[in-house]
A and B are shown apart, each in its own frame.
Chain A
């Protein structure tokens, strides 16, 4: 059995089935939905950071753009929600295309420029001068398409697609080439890898995933403000979850989301400051003591982690 099939059968399929069945058993659907969204975003970060080494510090820009793509389609063109979600994904890709020049930057410059880009999109969308199109800072209300069950199902489908993409990256020559580019772009291009094309494809794939997630999110919550869907927390959480589990693997981000987002919800929402404090300390501890993520505990012992 080829390993890609094994990964699909033993990691992706059980997770998807579990998430599809859980709403019938567990009452807190919003929590489940958030889990799915963060699984998608963490894997999206995995695609771009894990496989190419670009840290998307403004990843939420694609997410928010997707959400607003959805909102604009529904508000101005009255399209069905599923179509609007697809448009959300396309808006994410379009923003990704617009930002491809950023890939020329390396290291921290890319991360900072990406952060600035996401903030620029936020201030653009939230500008009162664009009230006719985006409703500016006053937020959008999409009660017409409100249907949490369908939106949840769509989120699980998006997750399945995303996981499929990661399994492909993990098992294909394409993914191998990407990792070669990450390690040493010059050597990789000597070996015949088209460095620019590879990076752009990974970048757009990751933008597409976030755009779709944003569209689904807009569908599910149906009332939101620019500050909600462009909140930097989405970027940070996605990056930290992916990093905590271990990037460039299939399991790492999944484990990271389940453990960290699980803890996040267990501690409770009573005092946000304490929360922020614990989270900050956790992030610092993670970087200082476990920079390669949880999976490094296993790989250090010589176990193979898919």
Chain B
């Protein structure tokens, strides 16, 4: 039971890292609190519903689609909202209220078009593309992929697929930040926005890219949400936002590896509490968030100290 909880915690934790990493990027670069983060996740889940419902294919195809769509949405939203916001007196505080408004708008529009019912996808649909390829190349009989066995315990295949995708996404963010020119500029803006501006970096372009990628990653995480959480409703966003914050703060700001660690720590804690103290599991994200903020506000891997 302990081993099951630990492995499940790591799998969930990797997925949670993917949930938080977009938020980390947006907050780290722009000092903007994207309270609509969870709603982007919810919209990603709806893209998965669309892909399955309309085309009847593997929801994994929703991953590149969701990413591409929401990078574009992010770029668009950035130019509409952020420059105006940055010009105001207290952008950090007002961003909370602004993006709360946005999350309300998203939730309302989704409810108007999709209703409030809980939706889910049969978990055997995920990963059918792999089993089809396997059958084509190596023969064998097609069929639903059963639980995947790790350390002698069986885990649902979607958990493993989601964890794998998260690893790829984290590697992608790492590559973007540390191996590309735009990523270097992004890190410059993260550490000192005004100095970056003074050295002639096009802060707006860099921020817009980070905003787009952040939203794209959130949508990718959303594609897996129906499998990880069982079902998704338009109201799913608010809780997802707070959870994402717990993860991001648990890791540290502006450090994708930090978020990966934060996600895993969070996942393991979650699974352990779920296993041994299930009636108190709901409290965990909030209490953990408050304690981390108070005891180690710079996060587990953070070096910079925030001044109160």
Contact = CB atoms under 8 A, between A and B. Distances in A.
Interface of A: 53, 55, 57, 101-109, 111-113, 115-117, 119-120, 123-124, 127-129, 232, 236, 239-240, 243, 273-277, 279-284, 286-288, 291-292
A57 B285 CA distance: 17
Contact of A124 (B95, B283, B306): B283
Given A120-B287, A277-B109, A291-B94, A106 B104 contact: no
Contacts of B102: 280, 284
Contact of B282 (A123, A243, A283): A123
30 contacts: A57-B96, A101-B294, A102-B293, A105-B297, A108-B33, A109-B249, A111-B93, A111-B96, A112-B33, A113-B294, A116-B245, A116-B286, A116-B287, A117-B286, A120-B286, A124-B283, A236-B100, A240-B97, A273-B111, A276-B105, A276-B111, A277-B112, A283-B97, A283-B98, A283-B104, A284-B105, A286-B97, A287-B85, A287-B101, A291-B88
A186 B137 CA distance: 69
Contact of B306 (A109, A276, A280): A109
A276 B104 contact: yes
Given A112-B245, A291-B89, 12 more contacts: A53-B90, A105-B293, A108-B31, A112-B33, A116-B287, A117-B290, A127-B283, A276-B104, A279-B101, A283-B97, A283-B104, A284-B102
A102 B292 CA distance: 11
B204 interface: no
Nearest to A118: B286
The residue among B93, B94, B107 with the most chain A CB atoms within 10 A of its own CB is B93
B89 A292 contact: yes
B84 to A, nearest CB: 5
A79 B297 CA distance: 42
B307 interface: yes
A197 to B, nearest CB: 15
B6 interface: no
B93 A104 contact: no
Given A55-B93, A273-B108, A277-B108, A287 B98 contact: yes
A87 to B, nearest CB: 24
A107 B90 CA distance: 9
- Chain B interface residue count: which class? 35 or more
A276 B98 contact: no
Nearest to B32: A108
Contacts of B308: 103-106
B280 interface: yes
B100 to A, nearest CB: 7
Interface of B: 27, 31, 33, 81, 84-85, 88-90, 92-98, 100-109, 111-112, 238, 242, 245-246, 249, 279-280, 282-283, 285-287, 289-290, 293-294, 297, 306-308
Contacts of A287: 85, 88, 94, 97-98, 101
B228 to A, nearest CB: 20
Contact of B112 (A109, A128, A273, A284): A273
Contact of A283 (B85, B100, B109, B246): B100
Contact of B104 (A113, A116, A277): A277
A279 B293 contact: no
Nearest to B277: A129
A102 B293 CA distance: 8
A113 B289 contact: yes
Contacts of B290: 102, 113, 116-117, 120
A282 B101 CA distance: 8
Contact of B280 (A129, A243, A282): A129
B165 to A, nearest CB: 27
B93 A108 contact: yes
Contacts of A117: 286, 290
Contacts of A55: 93, 96
A283 B100 CA distance: 8
Closest 8 CB pairs of A and B: A280-B104, A283-B101, A280-B105, A277-B108, A120-B286, A276-B108, A284-B101, A287-B98
A274 B108 CA distance: 7
B98 to A, nearest CB: 4
Given A288-B84, A292-B89, A106 B306 contact: yes
A221 B279 CA distance: 29
B160 to A, nearest CB: 30
Nearest to A288: B84
Contacts of B97: 239-240, 243, 283, 286-287
